[in-house]
Amino acid sequence: MAPNAACPRCGGAFHCGVDDATPCACTAPVLAPEQLRQLQAQYDGCLCLHCLRQLAQEPRPSVPPGR
């Protein structure tokens, strides 16, 4: 991913830190495994931190214990 990229979800410019010495900021928002699968199928490349934070705030379906 290019260090300066456009988010495929919102079109906004952002810095992709995947190749930086410190962990990329995109590792902070916690997304459900199903969300990650859907995003990987829908978009090529990284999403901006703003979009990732929005997605992390979306309600998640509850899963009964033991499943």
User: Domains of the chain: which residue ranges?
Assistant: 4-57
Kindly report, residue by residue over 6-65, the tens digit of the pLDDT: 999 999 999 888 888 888 888 899 999 999 999 999 998 889 999 999 999 987 665 555
Cα–Cα distance, 41 to 67 (Å, whole number) = 24
Distance (Å, rounded) from C-alpha 65 to C-alpha 14? 38
Strands, E assignment, the chain: 4-6, 13-15
What pTM does this model have? 0.76
Determine the Cα–Cα distance for residues 55 and 61; give it in Å rounded to an integer.
13
